[in-house]
Amino acid sequence: MLRGKTIIVTGANSGIGKATAAELLRRQGRVIMACRNRERAEKAAQEIQQEAGPEQGELVIKLLDLASLKSVRIFCEEIIKEESRIDILINNAGIYQCPYTKSEDGFEMQFAVNHLGHFLLTNLLLDLLKRSAPSRIIVVSSKLYKYGEINFDDLNSEQSYDKAFAYARSKLANLLFTLELSHRLEETGVTVNALTPGIVRTNLGRHVHIPLLLKPLFNLASRAFFKSPEEGAQTSIYLACSEDVEGVQGKCFANCLEEQLLAKATDEEVAKKLWDISEVMVGITT
C-alpha cells in the first residue's frame, strides 16, 4: 500500500499512464496526474476514481505540457511550492511517430517530449526527491530503442527525418538518461530504473496510418496479440511499489524482470555526452 506516498505520473490521462495511476490510487497513494489537457484529464480522473474502488487515495490534476520547457518549469515551481515530498516520479508520457514538427522551443517533437521535457522535469524535481528519500524515478522506454541511434550532429532531425527512427532515438535517449542519472544518484537514497512495456493497445499510435480496409483486421489482431493498458502498466507498478527493487539502480525491466540491453543503451561515454548536451538544450547548468 502507498498511504502517505506522493506519486507524479506524466501522461496519466490515457493508456499505460492512466492504468498506472488507477492502481496506485487504489493502493491509497496520493497521485498527481501531470497532463497537457485539463478537460481530458478531468474525464480520465473520474474514470480512474471509479476503477480505484472505495478506499482509494487522493487524485490531483496538474497541467504539464512536456513540449514546452516553460510549462515544465511552471509545473515544477508549483510542485516544489505545494508539495512537501515526492516519493515516486513516473516519466510515462510520450508521443509516437508524429509528422515532423517542432516544439515551441524549436526541438523535434518526439525528442522534445519523450526526452528533453522529462530530462528537465526530473532535474528540477531532484532536490525534492532527495529530501523525500528513499524515493524512486521510473522511466518508460520502449523495445524500439534497438532501432535508434544518437546522432550528435543532427539531434534535431533537421538534415533528415524518419518518424520511426526519431521515436526509436528518443527511447534510446530515455535509457541513456537512466544510465547517467543512476551514477549521479549514488548514495542519495533516490533510485532510477527504466522499463519497456511491450506492445500495448493505447492511443500512442494515433499518428500511424492504417489503410481503411485493414483497420478491422488490425483492431482484431491488436486485441488478440497486444497487451491491455492494465497489462502494460504492470512493470511501472512493480517498480513503483515492490520491495524487490529497493536500492536497485540504473537497470531496465520488462514483464517485472530485469532486461538485458544492447550495448548502445549501456554506453557510458554516449550517456554522459547526451546528458551534457541535453543540459544546454534545456538551459540548465550544474
Catalytically active residues, by annotation: 167
Q: Nine-digit cell at 144? A: 524500439
Alpha-carbon span 145 to 148, nearest angstrom = 5
Is residue 20 within 8 Å of 236, Cβ to Cβ?
yes
DSSP 223-270: HHHSBPHHHHTHHHHHHHH-GGGTT--S-EEETTEE-PPPGGGS-HHH
Q: Nine-digit cell at 82? A: 505545494
* Those residues with Cβ within 8 angstroms of residue 56's Cβ, 6 or more apart along the chain or in another chain: 25, 26, 28, 49
- Single-letter code of the amino acid located at 6: T
Specify which residues 192 forms β-bridges with. 137
> Residue 20 belongs to what H/E stretch?
helix 15-26
Output the CA torsion 189→195→201→202 (10° steps).
50
3-state secondary structure of 67: coil
Alpha-carbon span 131 to 86, nearest angstrom = 9
Is residue 231 within 8 Å of 204, Cβ to Cβ?
no
Alpha-carbon span 20 to 12, nearest angstrom = 8
Alpha-carbon span 164 to 88, nearest angstrom = 30
Q: How many CB atoms lie within 10 A of CB 183?
A: 14
